[in-house]
Chain A
Amino acid sequence: MRRFLGLAAALALALSAGGAIAQEKIKAGWIYVGPIGDHGWSYQHNQGRLRVEQELGDKVETIFIENVAEGPDAERAIERLAREGAKIIFTTSFGFMEATAKVAKKFPDVKFEHATGILTAENMAVYNARFYEGRYVIGQIAAKMSKSGVAGYIVSFPIPEVVSGINAFMLGAQSVNPDFKVKVVWVNSWYDPGKEADAAKVLFGQGADIIVQHTDSTAPLQIAEEQGKVGFGQASDMIKFAPKAQLTAIVDDWSGYYVSRVKAVLDGSWTTAIVWGGIDSGMVNIAPFTNMPDDVVKMATETTEKIKTHQLSPFTGPITKQDGTVVGEAGKSLPDEDILSMNWYVKGIDDQLPQ
């Protein structure tokens, strides 16, 4: 009798444990391209993961691997998370696309989410943020705030995300001051504080009085602070580093998306999707406007609001390219494919786009 009871208890335990795994606690995994200590791209993704833990704490266990190189290593890392039992895996760099697709084929029961990519599958979704929307806003602010009418722009690599950012910035600036100039410096790195600081010094030396960056470190803003100039934060709010110099920052906020997608796996409603969220979705977050007069704050707030409510789109046609050709239908925004593959400059940018 006792033995029978024991057996029944074991059986019941096994059943309930199985039920718990299936319904209650799931594992969610993240793959980061950089160190979570970069205070930029990977840092912000990790903040999103922490939010998932905070909000769904007792239902989710999160795991992550940082500093994963794009290439063969990525596939191994993603597969490891899948083998460890992760039910949903976020791979947070463009270069993880092929690897994610491959592993997704091998693990049809696991949901995959790839950031900034273009490949989808039954169990692989892509998500991205319309950072260019924020860049239009800061373009307007720059044109208002700059006395010399010249901004310095520090950039990493000539990929569409970066190019569309420069264009949106310029279009925003031109909407305020048609003669606005921008000087572009490519540092060929996402993340090298020393080099970014040098680039900022050089740009200020060449007459720019406002600095914009599409690289991840806080160094350019620190230089601006030192030299009594101004600039914009990137990826995270950098006000602590430049209390007198940061005008605003374009903050990547993935937390809302991550929480909603993990929830979807929990309640079984997850389906593949292509999500490209802008200011409206909260993925692109504009930090508080600081160090500027009230009228500029007012203008920036209005523009942000207009973009948020879709009354304004940065890439509304017609747009004149650098070579003089015109694209886009009047009054209509360029289609998403064109923005996602942008490899040309708008008119007014004095730089040769590296091909």
Chain B
Amino acid sequence: MLELQAIILTIITASTPFLLAAIGELVAERSGVLNLGVEGMMVVGAVCGFAAAYSTGSTFLGVLAAIAAGTLLSALFGFLTLTLVANQVATGLALTLLGLGLSGIVGESFVGLPGVKLAAIYIPVLTDIPFIGRILFGQDPLVYLSFILTGVVAYLLFKTRIGLIIRAVGSSHQSAHALGYRVIAVRYSCVLFGGACSGLAGGFLSLAYTPQWIENMTGGRGWIALALVVFSSWLPWRAAIGAYLFGTVWILNLYVQPLGLPIPPQLLTSLPYLVTILALVIISANRMLTRLNTPACLGQPFVPDR
């Protein structure tokens, strides 16, 4: 029982950064912008979050700094790809490289310092319920935020006018423009939202997951988040399922190893990726659904023709 609880708790912390980053990128991609710089925005969020929390002692300020840093970097991306109409793929890749380098410089004096850990919430009685108490009512605030964000994004995208506009911009920017929507402005806000979420995901790593800063601490999680967006066919709740599926297999591999089963650990470590690819293949088998949800203008530059 206790062991199961430990596993579930570990899965939740492992999955949260994927979910946070994926939900932001999902919105950006829904508006038709492919930002491959998730990893870069995450790592900058991680270092700025850590630096702010360490300098001020406040994890709240740390979280804000992480969000701000991710947003700032995505603003640069927006300026290059939306205003200057640079190639999105190339700019996104450059953004990742920039983020990794920049975070190294910013974080130089913060290496090897013990950080401040984001406190988990504690509700008397509820948190003390055996087994489910810690799982449901004892997480740190960002875990709840990741689910709230998923719900809000799902609602906004599919139940409101704003969501309709975002999806229209992503499906056919020419038509949206002809209807009088400000395509570039919509895309800017979606890209900034994506940046904020990526920064937050990075902040989760350096403030809650492992409260410390070391270079490159995101360890490729941004790329996995990008893959999860495709996995989800750009549907928010599916992204959440994907993040938790990946997180679960990721943790189970660590869990199975010490049992001493005759399975090569290399195979176990690659399982999360294999499972995700498999799920991707199965989901894409339904052509109709995929075509319906794929933003048709994804990655295409838009220049208003008056």
Could you list which residues of chain A lie within 8 angstroms of chain B, going by C-beta atoms?
Answer: 34-35, 37-39, 43, 152, 183-189, 191-199, 201-206, 217-219, 222, 226, 236, 240-241, 350-352, 354
Contacts and interface: CB of A to CB of B under 8 A. Distances in A.
B3 to A, nearest CB: 5
A204 B212 contact: no
Contact of A199 (B114, B212, B254): B254
User: Size class of B's contact patch?
Assistant: 35 or more
A199 B111 CA distance: 22
B215 A202 contact: no
A37 B212 contact: no
B260 A352 contact: yes
B39 to A, nearest CB: 13
B211 interface: yes
Query: Which 4 residue pairs are nearest across A and B when measured between Cβ atoms?
Result: A205-B6, A183-B258, A35-B215, A186-B265
A39 B217 CA distance: 12
B258 A206 contact: yes
Interface in B45-83: none
A222 B107 contact: no
A39 B112 contact: yes
Interface string B183-225: 0000000000000000000000100011110111101010000
Given A39-B111, A205-B6, A222-B210, A194 B251 contact: no
Nearest to A241: B114
B170 interface: no
A217 B214 contact: yes
A167 B251 CA distance: 26
17 contacts: A35-B216, A185-B254, A186-B257, A186-B269, A193-B210, A194-B205, A197-B210, A202-B7, A202-B255, A217-B214, A217-B217, A240-B112, A240-B113, A241-B114, A350-B260, A352-B262, A352-B264
Given A39-B112, A188-B266, A352-B260, 20 more contacts: A37-B104, A37-B108, A37-B215, A39-B214, A187-B269, A189-B219, A193-B212, A194-B14, A195-B254, A196-B210, A197-B209, A197-B210, A198-B13, A201-B10, A202-B254, A204-B6, A205-B255, A217-B217, A350-B258, A354-B265
Contacts of A204: 6
B244 interface: no
Contacts of A191: 214, 216, 219
B275 to A, nearest CB: 16
Interface of B: 2-3, 6-7, 9-10, 13-14, 17, 104, 107-108, 111-114, 117, 205, 209-212, 214-217, 219, 221, 250-251, 254-255, 257-258, 260, 262, 264-266, 269
**Interface-central residue, B212, B221, B264, by most chain A CB under 10 Å:** B212
Contacts of B257: 184-186, 351
Contacts of B219: 189, 191-195
Identify whether the interface residues of A are mostly helix, strand, loop, or mixed. mixed
Contacts of A152: 258
Nearest to B267: A354
B254 A222 contact: no
A152 B254 CA distance: 12
A196 B219 CA distance: 11
Contacts of A197: 209-210
Given A185-B258, A202-B254, A193 B10 contact: no
A222 B265 CA distance: 25
A291 to B, nearest CB: 16
B205 A205 contact: no
Contacts of A222: 114, 210-212
A204 B10 CA distance: 11
Contacts of A198: 10, 13-14, 250-251, 254
Contact of A351 (B113, B114, B260): B260
B269 A217 contact: no
Contacts of B250: 195, 198
Nearest to B11: A198
Nearest to B250: A198
B16 to A, nearest CB: 11
A48 B136 CA distance: 48
Given A35-B104, A202-B7, A218 B266 contact: no
A354 B17 CA distance: 30
A197 B251 CA distance: 11
A201 B255 CA distance: 9
Given A193-B210, A217-B214, A218-B212, A202 B258 contact: yes
Nearest to A218: B212
Nearest to A351: B260
A206 B254 CA distance: 11
A72 to B, nearest CB: 19
Contacts of A186: 257, 265-266, 269
A43 B10 contact: no
Contact of B212 (A195, A201, A219): A219
- Listed residue (A195, A202, A204, A241) with the most chain B CB atoms within 10 angstroms of its CB: A202
B269 A193 contact: no
B6 to A, nearest CB: 4
Given A198-B10, A205-B3, A188 B211 contact: no
A354 B258 CA distance: 13
Contact of A194 (B3, B113, B209, B266): B209
A307 to B, nearest CB: 28
